[in-house]
Each structure stands twice: as C-alpha cells, then as structure tokens.
Amino acid sequence: DGGITQSPKYLFRKEGQNVTLSCEQNLNHDAMYWYRQDPGQGLRLIYYSQIVNDFQKGDIAEGYSVSREKKESFPLTVTSAQKNPTAFYLCASSMGQGAAYGYTFGSGTRLTVV
Amino acid sequence: KQEVTQIPAALSVPEGENLVLNCSFTDSAIYNLQWFRQDPGKGLTSLLLIQSSQREQTSGRLNASLDKSSGRSTLYIAASQPGDSATYLCAVRGGRSGGSNYKLTFGKGTLLTVNP
C-alpha cells in the first residue's frame, strides 16, 4: 500500500544535540511538507518542498533544516538552535498544486528533550 | 494572512445523534478545503476534500459543505458512534499571501466525544 512512513515514532534529544527525523513516501507525490503540532496551537508549517533539490521555509523554520535529494525522501533535522523542540512532528505529501490534490500525512514522530 | 477557526472546541454527544462541526476562514481565495480526523497520538487521516469550485462532498455518514464566499464549511456526521470520537481538523489550502499555493492552514480542531 502507498503511504508515508515516519521514523522513529519516539525520539529523545539531549540539550545541544542535533537529531534527524525521517520521512519517506511511495505515493510518487511531488510536494512534501513538515508540520509541527503543539497542544493548543494547531499545526504550523516548518518547511516544504515542491520538487527535488528545492525547498522553502514555512512559518517557523528557525532552528530546523531539511534536504530533498530524492523525490521519496524529505528528512528534517532539528538543530541545537531550536530552543523548544519538544513537539509532535508530522510529515505530509501532495501530488501537486491543483485544487483536486489533498494532503496525505504520516503517523508522526514525537520528539522530547531530556 | 489566512486564519482558520473551528467551533466548538469540544463537543460531547450521546451515541446515535447527528452533529455538525463548523469551520470558518478569513481569506476566500482558496484552492480547496480538507477535513481530517486525528486520534490521540496519531497522524492525520483525510476524511473529505472539497475543491473551491464544489459545494459539498459525501463519504458514508460524513457530509462536508463549502460556502467559499462567506468563508465557511461544515462537517455533518450522521448517526454518531463511539468510534467517531477523535479530534476533527479543518484545513484550507491557498489564500492571497505569498507561497500559499501549497500551504495548508489549519484550525485548532474540535474534540468530539461520542458516549455509548
């Protein structure tokens, strides 16, 4: 079955560490996205990529970095510059820009700073 | 800047009741609107997508409507069941702000509890 795989499901980060969250899709979708979810704040866009080797900052990109070397993969690195990284991270993809295309989401990674 | 509001924030109903969840958005220049369901600690499951040119979509016991000019959408759930208990999220794609062609803007959700 086609879908989005996020790993790991749970991740613990020590202060000052960089960690990378994995997102892989086999839907042949062009666009991929990273969202952060915090209680009471809803989902906020971190980064998005419309095509391979191109990505754009979202609303809360500071302290995060991404790469898009393959169509199927869009990993997110949470750097030590992100002051409050504890959150639920969701990866999504969509076929393209048309109105008929919706988003498909992965099952998420919960990141906790210890 | 596109803003999405969902009312009510929480709703508790007895099993079998029909119910309506509301969503409003500030910028009517949208491509589409999507309703999602989220169970605790899980990802988002897409329920219905309504394109900007459409008025409603139906899937089983779910019916979503869209009034783009007034910036409103409703999700109607018929004959609710305990398994419908979850958080329901409304999201719109598009708006007049830069880079919005791809971006989904979410409401904060409605937490639905269906009691047996």
- Give yes or no for residue B97 having a pLDDT over 70: no
Backbone angles phi, psi at B84, to 5 degrees: -80, -10
Closest CA relative to residue A50, chosen from A84, A88, A18, A93: A93
Using the Cβ of A106 and the Cβ atoms of chain B, whether some distance falls under 8 Å is answered with yes
Secondary structure (DSSP) of B34-46: EEEEE-TT--EEE
pLDDT at B100: 60
B51/A100 CB distance under 8 A:
yes
pLDDT at B52: 92
User: What is the DSSP code (8-state) at residue B78?
Assistant: -
The tens-digit pLDDT sequence of chain A (114 residues) is 679 999 999 999 888 899 999 999 999 999 999 999 998 888 999 999 999 999 999 999 999 999 999 999 999 999 998 889 999 999 999 997 777 889 999 999 999 988
> Can you name the residues that pair with B113 across neighbouring β-strands?
B12
pLDDT at B1: 83
Which of A103, A104, A112 to probe by mutation at the B interface, max B CB count within 10 Å?
Answer: A103
